[in-house]
Amino acid sequence: MIFITVKFTVRPEHSEGWLDLVDGFTRATRQEPGNLFFEWSRSVDNPHQFVLVEAFRDGEAGRAHVESEHFGAAMDAMSYAIAETPQIVSTEIADSDGWGRMGELSPREPGGA
């Protein structure tokens, strides 16, 4: 699995419209056969920063994503809205197909000790 996290710091005037700007890109990417997940979050510390967590089945699926028409169009559109070059972490995780369950925490009934 290729696991990628990207921090996008956007220009203040584009913060409220960022998720609308990337909506088509997000929907198209989620439809890619090799995409495992593609999820946006907004920073609680910086209202102009968004974090993208994404994963692809393997390197081939990652390449197909980067070579897609919607990827190129999104890079062009986003370039006008970002305040700085995004920060990225990209790594390959062997023998994984996505999210697993956290072993250290499970839900309990309210009021329990």
Distance between CA atoms of residues 81 and 29, nearest Å: 20
**74 within 8 A of 27, measured Cβ to Cβ:** no
What is the band of 4 on the pLDDT scale with cuts at 50, 70, 90? very high
What are the tens digits of pLDDT across the range 18-51? 999 999 999 999 999 999 999 999 999 999 999 9
Neighbours of 85 (CB within 10 A): 9
Q: Is 53 exposed, middle or buried (0-12, 13-18, 19+ CB in 10 A)?
A: middle
Reported pTM: 0.91
Residue 95 pLDDT > 90:
no
Residue 112 pLDDT > 80:
no
**52 within 8 A of 5, measured Cβ to Cβ:** yes
Please report, for residues 7, 33, 54, the alpha-carbon distance to residue 90 in angstroms, rounded to integers and kept in the order given. Answer: 12, 19, 10
